[in-house]
Amino acid sequence: MVQRVRHGSRVARGRDWKVVKHGNQDGTPPGPGTVTAVAHGDPIGKGVQVTWDRTGKVHWYSMGCRTRKCELRLLPPELKPHIGADQKLIDVSSMSFQTEMKSIWEFSVRSNLKPCVRTLLGLHCDVDPAWSLTVLQQAAPRLKALQLVSPQQQHLDAALAMPLLEGLCVCNVTGPQLQQVVRMASLRRLELHCPPDAALSDIFTFPGTAAGLRWLRSGLYPLVTALALVRAHADTLEELQLVAASTEPYGCPDLARELQRCGLKKLKKMVILRRDAHDAFCRHDQNTCREQLSQILHIFSERGLSVAVLCSECNLNSEII
């Protein structure tokens, strides 16, 4: 496994993790970490160095090298939010979990660096709700793109009031929050995810907005809810990224037909995501994928649309996500 790991890979504790040996270096509850060094061929088997998100601790671990121990497991590549430009961006994922890191944000505010921030990513609102709200209030006047994880109503209210916000990503969105987000007329780029065990099964229609979305990534369950959101923005969507499996039991054999009913008019690119923000329920194989994509291409061509239709697994090297 160590051959697949590289600097920047995301990992979590694996099957051979020993609490007696490593304790809770990865946090309580255990959280993910980032590989900061890889020592290939290390004779003692300490092949991977990890910095843990929740604690900031740095340690070396065995990961399937000569000792054949897997103290870590490799996490799937994260879905990177594409809601804002890379310029003037700050990612506060690590700060959200570490008390000592929060002083970095406070220093930036005192140093008048805050006005430079246009895109704010990785704000885990459930870890420290009060601090998260302070961050949103301080960044609000100039923020154009925002990623919230498990927001409370107070955090969403702060986002709704941002005058320049054009891109929004909400992970672990609830039904009431979803109904509020889709009414934000300023949004051009939107990304939404809900956990599979908290499906939004009672939401089937959405209002359109005067301007409409140009880009949408949806990891909403059930799929009928995601498709309802697509229909609401069928007149303006240019790129759609949709979480959907190609095989049973969670596949959607009539996905092409459902997309045809959405009435998309300006779509130029569609990506079928075979995993969601929680890496769940996205079964896929080459045969069913090929058939599914072919059906989707056919319905778009029937409507006179020239759409690039891609799979996040089969077209992994295309940097589509």
What's the burial of 286, exposed, middle or buried (CB within 10 Å: 0-12/13-18/19+)?
exposed
> Residue 160: in which H helix or E strand, if any?
helix 153-160
Going by C-alpha positions, the residue among 260, 258, 270, 278 that lies closest to residue 306 is 270
Reported as a single tens digit per residue, the pLDDT across 207-225 is 666 568 999 999 998 888 9
Res. 42: pLDDT tops 80: no
In DSSP notation, 249-265 reads TSB-TTHHHHHHHHT-S
Reported as a single tens digit per residue, the pLDDT across 93-120 is 777 766 665 665 664 555 444 667 889 9
Rounded Cα–Cα distance for residues 314 and 321 (Å): 12
Domain boundaries, the chain: 9-74, 89-311
Q: How confident is the model at residue 2 (pLDDT cuts 50, 70, 90)?
A: very low
Cα-atom radius of gyration of the chain, to the nearest Å? Answer: 21
Res. 62: pLDDT tops 80: yes
More confident residue, 148 or 69: 148
Res. 63: pLDDT tops 80: no
pLDDT at residue 251, rounded to an integer? 64
Q: How confident is the model at residue 242 (pLDDT cuts 50, 70, 90)?
A: very high
Mean pLDDT score, 300-319 = 84
Q: How confident is the model at residue 68 (pLDDT cuts 50, 70, 90)?
A: low
pLDDT at residue 1, rounded to an integer? 47
Average pLDDT of the chain to the nearest whole number? 83
